[in-house]
């Protein structure tokens, strides 16, 4: 029986946009202007530093492929993955702290890493002679995740190597994916092969699972991301709309475009959660209003204007219709 991530929302395909931030930093450090690639997919650079923003996975695939073309680096994902701070990555650091063996590490890791994305399903499969850590895509991608696969190869080879320590033997490790153009043959001495599905996997000797891991312990990284929420279409639309609630046109086409998904697919995902876009926009407006009424010194009129209400009385009527009290009474009480 394999260990696996089991969120019901996995088929939706959303991903935390901040996962693309290391690519942006890598280009910036090398004085490569990322703006043409960002413009190509309609994203602003500052969104990549916001851990609360989610978009559809294929928007990220396209962005990272565009970064690769812009930089002229075929193995950009691989190179970014080799410089990625594993100790600063919450799923890795938390799993490492709470485990003694590689098996315990993966048992913890496979449950934490899906909080970064629901575009894939993670699982650890144990066979008689080998163990397989598998990252299966829940949908056939229309945008080839070449750079994401290269990044994944670098991350999971490093992750495995850091935990196994002196027992590491690259000749006993195999990486498989349909999208292997993002890494060279024989990368790091491991076997690289073409896989039958759109995901990726790394296999290694099963006895490694029972080794006491050799990685040094570190303090748990500061993590501002809430880890008790699934990545869903609702979380995704709330993340991209927080700064756009004053805009008059927030229809399905606009919001779906911000998420990098087709409107029909977006509406079906909402239907799956038994909700609608107008309902979620209202809920978000109320939640943002409550936050500012509790925590800021903005006037009621200023908060209303920020949420798209040019008239204070209109905002007051809306807020009272949703909460049963006026904004002023909510703030006082």
Residues 35 and 120 in one domain: yes
Can you read off the two tokens belonging to residue 242? 């927080």
Ranges of residues in the chain with a pLDDT under 70 are 1-12, 114-119, 214-231
Cβ contacts of residue 148 below 8 Å, gap of 6+? 60, 61, 64, 77, 179
Q: 151-170 burial by CB neighbour count: b if 16+ within 10 A, else e?
A: bbbbbbbbbbbbbbeeebeb
Give the chain's domain count: 2
Backbone angles phi, psi at 195, to 5 degrees: -90, 165
**Predicted local confidence at residue 223, as pLDDT:** 45
Residues 123 and 243 in one domain: no
Q: CATH code at 35?
A: 3.90.1520.10
Residues 48 and 150 in one domain: yes
Residues 142 and 266 in one domain: no
3-state secondary structure the chain: CCEECCCHHHHHCEEEHHHHHHHHHHHHHCCCCCHHHHHHHCCCHHHHHCCCCEEEHHHHHHHHHHHHHHHCCCCHHHHHHHHCCHHHCHHHHHHHHCCCEHHHHHHHHHHHHHHHECCEEEEEEECCCEEEEEEEECCCCCCCCHHHHHHHHHHHHHHHHHHHHHHCCHHHCEEEECCCCCCCCCHHHCEEEECCCCCEEEEEEHHHHHCECCCCCCCCCCCCCCCCCCCCHHHHHHHHHCCCCCCCCCCHHHHHHHHCCCHHHHHHHHHHCCCCHHHHHHHHHHHHHHHHHHHCCCCHHHHHHHCCCCCHHHHHHHHHHHHCCCHHHHHHC
Which of residues 210, 225, 257 is at a domain's end? 210
Q: CATH code at 262?
A: 1.10.10.60
Can you read off the two tokens belonging to residue 289? 């209003």
Distances (CA, A) of 111 to 123, 174, 236, 250: 9, 23, 20, 34
Residues 177 and 239 in one domain: no
Residues 206 and 237 in one domain: no
Q: Which domain holds residue 181?
A: 3-210
Residues 168 and 284 in one domain: no
**Predicted local confidence at residue 230, as pLDDT:** 55
Q: What is the C-alpha radius of gyration for the chain, rounded to an integer number of angstroms?
A: 22
Residues 119 and 21 in one domain: yes
**Predicted local confidence at residue 118, as pLDDT:** 64
**Predicted local confidence at residue 300, as pLDDT:** 94
**Predicted local confidence at residue 3, as pLDDT:** 46
pLDDT in tens, 189-218: 999 999 888 899 999 999 999 988 765 544
Residues 242 and 114 in one domain: no
Can you read off the two tokens belonging to residue 11? 């088929």
pLDDT in tens, 98-153: 888 999 999 999 888 866 666 678 899 999 999 999 998 877 888 999 999 999 99
Looking only at the bridges linking them, the beta strands covering 120-126 and 54-56 are unpaired
């Amino acid at each position: 029986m394999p260990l696996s991530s089991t969120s019901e929302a996995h088929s939706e395909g959303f991903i935390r946009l901040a996962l693309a931030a290391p690519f942006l930093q890598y280009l910036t450090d090398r004085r490569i202007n990322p703006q043409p690639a960002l413009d190509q997919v309609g994203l602003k650079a500052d969104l990549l530093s916001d851990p609360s923003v989610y978009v559809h996975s294929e928007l990220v695939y396209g962005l990272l492929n565009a970064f690769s073309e812009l930089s002229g680096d075929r193995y950009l994902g691989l190179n970014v993955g080799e410089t990625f701070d594993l100790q600063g990555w919450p799923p890795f650091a938390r799993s490492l702290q709470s485990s003694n063996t590689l098996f315990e590490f993966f048992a913890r890791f496979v449950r934490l890493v899906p909080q970064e994305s629901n575009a894939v399903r993670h699982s650890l499969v144990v066979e008689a002679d080998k163990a397989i850590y598998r990252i299966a895509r829940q949908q056939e991608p229309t945008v080839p995740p070449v750079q994401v696969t290269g990044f994944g190869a670098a991350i999971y080879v490093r992750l495995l190597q850091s935990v196994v320590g002196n027992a590491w033997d690259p000749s006993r490790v195999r990486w498989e994916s349909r999208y292997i153009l993002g890494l060279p043959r024989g990368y790091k001495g491991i076997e690289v092969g073409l896989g039958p599905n759109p995901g990726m996997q790394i296999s290694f000797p099963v006895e490694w699972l029972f080794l006491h891991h050799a990685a040094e312990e570190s303090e748990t990284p500061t993590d501002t991301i809430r880890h008790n929420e699934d990545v869903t279409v609702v979380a995704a639309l709330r993340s991209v709309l927080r700064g756009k609630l004053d805009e008059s046109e927030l229809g399905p086409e606009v919001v779906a475009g911000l998420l990098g998904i087709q409107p029909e697919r977006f509406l079906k995902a909402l239907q799956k959660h038994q909700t609608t876009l107008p309902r979620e926009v209202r809920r978000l407006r109320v939640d943002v209003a409550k936050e500012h009424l509790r925590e800021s010194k903005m006037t009621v009129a200023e908060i209303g204007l920020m949420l798209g209400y040019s008239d204070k009385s209109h905002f007051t009527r809306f807020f009272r219709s949703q909460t049963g009290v006026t904004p002023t009474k909510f703030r006082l009480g």
